[in-house]
Chain A
Amino acid sequence: MEQTDEVIRSAADIVSEYFTAPMRTLLEWVEPFAAQVAQLRSTGPLTQAKLDPLVEPYALQTLALDGVPVYGAGFIAAIDLLADAHSHLAWWQGADRRQLVLASQTVNKEDIDYSALEWYRVPMTSGEPHVAGPYVDYLCSDEYTITIAVPAEIDGERIGVAGLDLLVAAVEKELTPRFMALGHQVTLTNGVGRVVVSTDPRVATGDSVRGGRLASLPRIACEGVALDVIVEEI
């Protein structure tokens, strides 16, 4: 019993450390970035062409982060922040760190409405950093993704979110050995009970733990991120 207590705490610590490191990186640049946007806005209308070069160095810096497999990074503007677009993603991703070009931003001039998507909606509403997912990211990475997003503010006005993507496959590869070293089955879930990673091969990423065998096992929340760990003796 005591051992499980210790293990579950260690598992939760592993998770908190793993996700708060990249979150810290975003928190470190979001304020200077917001200040630069405020400065830019005071000199004239804020356009995509003016915003993107501001975001780029921060995005590339985030992509270069050591010890975390960051796949994509950048800034997603609040709806109607920009003068020349209803919505806008300034995003860099992939092994060659290219800027994302979305057809709807260049061709149709059709606006992508990301306002309902978890990685935007939650930080913009709560004002707090958020770890969204796992989910299928059909906008940016095209893969099963976890997105960390922190809101950017100018004098209390939320101007958008600074974010980064982690591919769940990469997170699985990194967390599984750390969990296995604890000698128990460890399952990491999100706020709606969806499995992010599990050492137990019977438990699939993407499945829900609600109403299943794991629902009744010892579980605690991880500090700093809205994720839980469930632990089971092998």
Chain B
Amino acid sequence: MEQSPAPARAAAVPVDAPSPHDARRHPHRLQGSLFQPIGDEGRAELVERRLVDAITRGHLAAGERLPPEADLARSLGVAPVTVREALLALRGRGLLVTRRGRNGGSFVADHADPLSFTREAVRAASRLALRDLGAHYAAITGACVRLAARRADPSEAQQIRQRMQRLGDLDTEQRRRLLDDVQIEIVALSQSARLTREQMKLQAEISPYLRLVAHESEDALRQGEHLAAVADAVEAGDEESAVIRTELMVDETIDALISLQVRLN
């Protein structure tokens, strides 16, 4: 019987050696998650999904012009023809429109409303999935705020608190963006790059749900109050309060989403 060759033992990967992927890494800023390189495969379906996510999460607004194909290709790390295929598919789905002429290009369709997309996602989701998203988000964000409370200098938390002063003057959309930014800034105070990167991905995923909850809620300022309390706890070095308040915020969000789901079905 032929002996199969012994499987090559995988070499231990040094923890912070740059991988080929790292060399092309782009910022993980919340709105920039659209541009994380897709990888060598770069199939049109992946590009399509990435763009759909950006539209449904409101990172690409209705009526917004897309960057030129060449720029998208470069940022996503795929061939221009792959981008073209994806855009064609999105046009077919009615999510993009093309205009010719001087101010031509690809535009997100006018009707593409992130709130309707999110409402539909909630309606179609299982309670299990919604609760599990909450559990995941609470675990990572909780760990981050705990570390932030331990390691941040009070002046750093104060800076963030100051950013929140104008929350009341903003509309729902602007408020959600500021709160997303503030959440990430608090999380970055953990001094952990890994946890911050993880949390940013989760923030991008949960943000449209937070936006929807705020939109449907009678208490539009509640999310801001939660985050202000977390920032205060971080400033005071109070790990437990920071975590508990984060978990409370998540519980309220998931409860609101499940109530909404009942109403939609």
Whole-angstrom CA separation of A192 from B31 in the bound complex? 30
Interface of A is mostly: loop
B32 contacts A by Cβ under 8 Å? yes
Residue of A nearest to B68 (CB): A106
Instruction: Tell me which of B24, B151, B177 contacts A96 (CB under 8 A).
Output: B24
Binding stretch for chain A, among B59-67, B124-132, B221-229 = B59-67
Please determine whether A107 and B23 come into contact, CB atoms closer than 8 angstroms: no
Chain B residues in contact with chain A, CB under 8 A? 16, 18, 22-29, 31-35, 54, 59-61, 64, 66-67, 71, 74-75, 151, 153, 155-156, 159, 162-163, 177, 181, 184, 188, 190-193, 196-197, 200
Given contacts A95-B22, A110-B31, 16 further A-B contacts (CB under 8 A): A94-B18, A94-B25, A101-B74, A103-B31, A106-B71, A107-B59, A108-B59, A113-B181, A116-B163, A138-B28, A140-B27, A192-B153, A192-B156, A194-B153, A207-B151, A208-B153
Whole-angstrom CA separation of A39 from B43 in the bound complex? 45
Residue of A nearest to B191 (CB): A206
Please determine whether A94 and B64 come into contact, CB atoms closer than 8 angstroms: no
Interface of B is mostly: helix
Chain B residues within an 8 Å CB radius of A116: 159, 162-163
Interface size on A, residues (CB 8 A): 34
How does the 8 Å CB contact mask read for A71-101 relative to B, with 1 for contact and 0 for none? Answer: 0000000000000000000000011101011
Chain A residues in contact with chain B, CB under 8 A? 94-96, 98, 100-104, 106-108, 110, 112-113, 116, 134-136, 138-140, 142-144, 169, 192-194, 205-208, 210
Instruction: Tell me which of B31, B75, B193 contacts A108 (CB under 8 A).
Output: B31
Please determine whether B23 and A139 come into contact, CB atoms closer than 8 angstroms: no
Residue of B nearest to A167 (CB): B16
Chain A residues within an 8 Å CB radius of B190: 136
Please determine whether A135 and B197 come into contact, CB atoms closer than 8 angstroms: no
Please determine whether A142 and B59 come into contact, CB atoms closer than 8 angstroms: no
In the assembled complex, the CB of B185 is this many whole angstroms from the nearest CB of chain A, namely 8
Please determine whether B71 and A101 come into contact, CB atoms closer than 8 angstroms: yes
Please determine whether B191 and A103 come into contact, CB atoms closer than 8 angstroms: no
Residue of A nearest to B71 (CB): A106
Please determine whether A110 and B177 come into contact, CB atoms closer than 8 angstroms: yes
In the assembled complex, the CB of B31 is this many whole angstroms from the nearest CB of chain A, namely 5
Residue of B nearest to A207 (CB): B151
Please determine whether A138 and B31 come into contact, CB atoms closer than 8 angstroms: no
Please determine whether A95 and B23 come into contact, CB atoms closer than 8 angstroms: yes
A107 touching B153 in the complex, CB below 8 Å, given contacts A101-B26, A138-B200, A142-B197: no
